[in-house]
C-alpha cells in the first residue's frame, strides 16, 4: 500500500469520527496505551512495573531511531540541494523559501520554485505571485449554482495544486470528489 493510499484511508476513518487525521491517530495511540496498561495491571506490581519499564525503553528506542532517520533525510536533502545549486549559501536563501520548507516542501524544490517565480515575475521571486494568479483564476471560474444541490468536484490535478489551507477549506468537497477519481 502506498503512503498516499494509507493516508487516504486514515482521512476517511478520521472523517467518520468527525476529527482530523492527527486527532484520530492520537486517540488510537492513547486507547492502545490504556489497553496495554490495563493488561499489565493484571500482573503482580513488580512484573507490571518491569513491563512498563520495557515499554518505555522500546518507545525511547523508536524515538531515537526516528530522530536518526530524520537527520539522515535532512543530510540527504542538503546534499541534493548542494548538488543542484552549487555555490548557494544558506544565508542567501530567502525567507519565502524557508517558509515553504516549513510547510513540507523540500529545500531543492522550494528554491527551484523561487528561482522560477523570480524569472517569471520580474525578479521578485515572491511566492504570493502564484497565489495572486490562483486568486485571479478563481475569480474568473464559472460559478456553480448552490441551488443545483451538487457539490463542485475537483480533479486530482486541481487538488495537487492547492495550498494546504485551500485543501483544508475544501476538505469535504475533496473527499466527495475523490470518490469519482479513477485510481
Total Cβ atoms within 10 A of residue 97: 21
pTM of the model: 0.45
Looking at per-residue pLDDT, the higher value among 136 and 75 belongs to: 75
Domain ranges of the chain: 152-183
- Backbone angle region of 19, left / alpha / beta, with phi > 0 → left and psi within -120 to 50 → alpha: beta
Rounded Cα distance between 61 and 56, Å, is 9
pLDDT at 127: 54
pLDDT digits (tens, 9 = 90+) for 113-154: 888 887 765 555 555 555 556 666 666 666 554 444 555 578
Amino acid at each position: 500500500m502506498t503512503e498516499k493510499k494509507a493516508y487516504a484511508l486514515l482521512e476517511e476513518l478520521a472523517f467518520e469520527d468527525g476529527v482530523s487525521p492527527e486527532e484520530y491517530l492520537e486517540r488510537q495511540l492513547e486507547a492502545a496505551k490504556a489497553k496495554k496498561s490495563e493488561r499489565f495491571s493484571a500482573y503482580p506490581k513488580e512484573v507490571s512495573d518491569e513491563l512498563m519499564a520495557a515499554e518505555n525503553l522500546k518507545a525511547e528506542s523508536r524515538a531515537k531511531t526516528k530522530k536518526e532517520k530524520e537527520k539522515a533525510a535532512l543530510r540527504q536533502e542538503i546534499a541534493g540541494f548542494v548538488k543542484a545549486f552549487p555555490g548557494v549559501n544558506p544565508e542567501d536563501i530567502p525567507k519565502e523559501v524557508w517558509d515553504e520548507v516549513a510547510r513540507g516542501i523540500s529545500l531543492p524544490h522550494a528554491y527551484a520554485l523561487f528561482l522560477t517565480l523570480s524569472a517569471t515575475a520580474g525578479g521578485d521571486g515572491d511566492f504570493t505571485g502564484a497565489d495572486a494568479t490562483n486568486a485571479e483564476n478563481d475569480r474568473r471560474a464559472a460559478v456553480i449554482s448552490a441551488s443545483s444541490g451538487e457539490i463542485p468536484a475537483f480533479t486530482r490535478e486541481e487538488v495537487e495544486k492547492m495550498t494546504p489551507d485551500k485543501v483544508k477549506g475544501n476538505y469535504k468537497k475533496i473527499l466527495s470528489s475523490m470518490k469519482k477519481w479513477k485510481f
